[in-house]
A and B are shown apart, each in its own frame.
Chain A
Amino acid sequence: EPEVTQTPSHQVTQMGQEVILRCVPISNHLYFYWYRQILGQKVEFLVSFYNNEISEKSEIFDDQFSVERPDGSNFTLKIRSTKLEDSAMYFCASRTGTASYEQYFGPGTRLTVT
């Protein structure tokens, strides 16, 4: 069964460093998302991406964040200058965008900023 994959599973970085989190959405999906979950808190929406552009973003998604679909398969989230409070589990999700609207989630990348 097709699934969303994410790499790495765990990333440790120092404050102020740039990180890139990678996702491979399900192949026929058209809409892509990033969410994050700080330990013990709710899953929070960051950004949605369709047709090679951001379609919606939350207040959390400020200028230090960016997303890109550099080729036909990868979808990346870049954090330019990490802060301690960026430590969280980051989930990528995708959906078909046609008849069904359910989003399918990847296994997540745990980002630890020290």
Chain B
Amino acid sequence: EDKVVQSPLSLVVHEGDTVTLNCSYEVTNFRSLLWYKQEKKAPTFLFMLTSSGIEKKSGRLSSILDKKELFSILNITATQTGDSAVYLCAVEFQGAQKLVFGQGTRLTINP
């Protein structure tokens, strides 16, 4: 059975800290891994990763994929209270349409 597992499930840090969120997967026919940020409602797209070892960066957020060890990390540096959200990892398959999601990491940034 295809599985996407995120850790930790919950994380509370202080503003300014750096955090690393983890996503591991066991899937057949992997195509890509996606990270989303979910605040009140809609998951908003952050990154899509298809190749191992190539870091994607957007401001204070970055992410990398390891296709040999089957995991990805999402780093957020100099965290701000606006980074508080649930971060979702999802995997897409070759020849299929669906995304399979992990359970999410609830990140809380305290001032």
Contacts and interface: CB of A to CB of B under 8 A. Distances in A.
B101 A44 contact: yes
9 nearest A-B pairs in the assembled complex, by CB-CB distance: A48-B97, A45-B98, A43-B101, A107-B41, A107-B42, A56-B97, A105-B42, A105-B43, A102-B48
Nearest to B44: A105
Contacts of B48: 100-102
B84 interface: no
Interface string A48-71: 101000011010000000000000
A91 B101 contact: no
Contacts of B60: none
* Majority-rule SS of B interface residues: strand
Given A41-B103, A89-B41, 18 more contacts: A33-B97, A33-B98, A35-B99, A43-B43, A43-B90, A43-B99, A45-B99, A45-B100, A48-B98, A50-B97, A91-B43, A102-B34, A102-B48, A103-B99, A105-B36, A105-B44, A105-B45, A108-B42
B14 interface: no
Interface of B: 31-32, 34, 36, 41-45, 48, 88, 90, 92, 96-104
Nearest to B36: A105
Q: What class of interface size applies to chain A in its complex with B?
A: 20 to 34
A56 B98 CA distance: 8
20 contacts: A31-B97, A33-B97, A42-B103, A43-B43, A43-B88, A45-B98, A45-B99, A55-B97, A89-B41, A91-B42, A101-B92, A102-B34, A102-B45, A102-B48, A104-B45, A105-B42, A105-B43, A105-B44, A105-B45, A108-B41
Interface in A85-114: 89, 91, 100-108
A58 B93 CA distance: 14
B29 to A, nearest CB: 13
Contacts of A41: 103
